[in-house]
């Protein structure tokens, strides 16, 4: 196994991880920004006002995009396991 192969496997793993995390975090970030603007405009400083909407959006995104994320992860691991003979030999 050459260093290039190890770097390629690591790079692909980071790409998959980045896509999975961004799909979940970007909607929560957008909702947090909207709630923060609302709090600044109304001078309401309640912690749960920013936490609950982000939590609900995160759960919603996981429910909607969960099968796609799982499929992405399974495809990556299938490619990884099917390339084991090529990497070793």
Q: Give the span between the Cα atoms of 59 and 35, in whole angstroms.
A: 17
Angle among Cα 30, 48, 43 to the nearest 5 degrees reads: 80
Q: Tell me, yes or no, if the pTM score tops 0.85.
A: no
Instruction: Encode pLDDT of 22-67 as tens digits.
Output: 999 999 999 999 999 998 898 888 878 889 999 999 999 999 999 9
Domain positions in the chain: 3-88
Sign of the Cα torsion 80, 85, 88, 89 reads: negative
pLDDT at 16: 95
Rounded distance between C-alpha atoms, residue 32 and residue 51, angstroms: 8
- How much is the pLDDT for 86? 84
Tens digits of residue pLDDT in 59-85: 999 999 999 999 999 999 999 999 888
């Amino acid at each position: 196994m050459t260093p290039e192969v190890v770097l390629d496997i690591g790079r692909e793993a980071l790409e998959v991880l980045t896509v999975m995390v961004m799909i979940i975090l970007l909607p929560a970030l957008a909702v947090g920004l909207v709630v923060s603007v609302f709090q600044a405009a109304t001078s309401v400083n309640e912690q749960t006002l920013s936490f609950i909407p982000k939590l609900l959006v995160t759960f919603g995104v996981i429910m909607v995009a969960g099968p796609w994320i799982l499929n992405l992860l399974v495809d990556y691991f299938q490619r990884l396991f099917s390339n084991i003979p090529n990497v070793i030999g």
